[in-house]
Amino acid sequence: MRRGSWKIRIIIGLAIVGFAMVKRCNNKQTNPYTGRVQNIDITTDQEIAIGLQSAPEMAQQHGGLYPDKRLQAFVDAVGNRLVQNSVARETPYRFEFHLLADDRTINAFALPGGQIFITHALFSQLNEAQLAGVLGHEIGHVIGKHSAERIAESNYWQTISMGASVGADAGNLVSGIGQNVLLKNGRGDELESDDLGVLFMIQSGYDPQEMIQVMKILKAAAGPNRVPEFQSTHPDPENRIEKIQESIRKYKGDRS
């Protein structure tokens, strides 16, 4: 009886794993804005809804919005200029730019669907072109559907882990593999967003070399021993400069 029960668990576990793999294959789609094939299991409307729902909580975690409406209007102007001069204007996303009151955390991030944030701690160290580089990078995350892709990958590995747990008590091992894959893909997302950010800067009339200055500012902000929040979710700035230079050479003069 116990042997039969073990076999049933194996069959159920394999069925769960098989379901996850079939679902993943069926979720493959080509991103119309980047041309990259991705695993996405939520709709664009769901992306937008997730971003709008999460935005207030994210702002609260960083001390709310910065109270100076003039500076917020400046951030809006730079962000909207990038959107209007790039492929971002063709997307259904609702781009909104938020200057956060946080004066201690060097960070910028994007939620799915177009909600983009930058802390005053980072904003205060940037000129206009450098701000455009940061915002362009975050716009790249949105149109690159990076959050949606991470959600789908997380769902996939959770299902695989459940199947492995049922079939062979190997869920923790498989879950760990999934986390490593997510980390690797996330770094690729950052480089793709850097590349798109350079393109958006050029298309909007900003000097893309200022993106390299942003990397130097981030590196300097870290100091010799401290890792800023920005680097906890992004590759090391020094490692990104070479790729940014490649993107500048690739896009320089392309204002189409």
| Mean pLDDT within 106-134 | 95
Tokens standing for 72? 């917020």
CA angle 171, 177, 179 (to 5 degrees): 100
Could you tell me the pLDDT band of residue 85, with boundaries at 50, 70 and 90? very high
Could you tell me the pLDDT band of residue 187, with boundaries at 50, 70 and 90? confident
pLDDT at position 234 over 80: no
Lowest mean pLDDT among 17-21, 40-44, 121-125: 17-21
Cα 154 from Cα 161, distance rounded (Å): 10
Tokens standing for 128? 């206009």
pLDDT at res. 104: 92
Relative to beta strand 37-39, strand 28-30 is: antiparallel
| Mean pLDDT within 71-89 | 97
Lowest mean pLDDT among 17-26, 65-74, 97-106, 211-220: 17-26
pLDDT at res. 91: 96
| Mean pLDDT within 188-211 | 94
For every residue of 233-255, DSSP letters joined together read: HS--HHHHHHHHHHHHHHHTT--
pLDDT at res. 221: 77
| Mean pLDDT within 15-35 | 64
Residue predicted with more confidence, 140 or 3? 140
| Mean pLDDT within 121-149 | 94
Could you tell me the pLDDT band of residue 8, with boundaries at 50, 70 and 90? low
Most confident of 114-128, 175-189, 217-231: 114-128
pLDDT at res. 130: 98
pLDDT at position 62 over 70: yes
| Mean pLDDT within 73-95 | 97
Percentages (nearest 5) of helix, strand, coil residues in the chain? 70, 10, 25
Residue 100 phi/psi, 5° resolution?
Answer: -90, 150
| pTM for the structure as a whole | 0.77
CA angle 18, 21, 24 (to 5 degrees): 150
pLDDT at res. 205: 96
pLDDT at res. 90: 95
Residue 243 phi/psi, 5° resolution?
Answer: -65, -40
pLDDT at position 240 over 90: no
- Mean pLDDT over the full length of the chain: 79
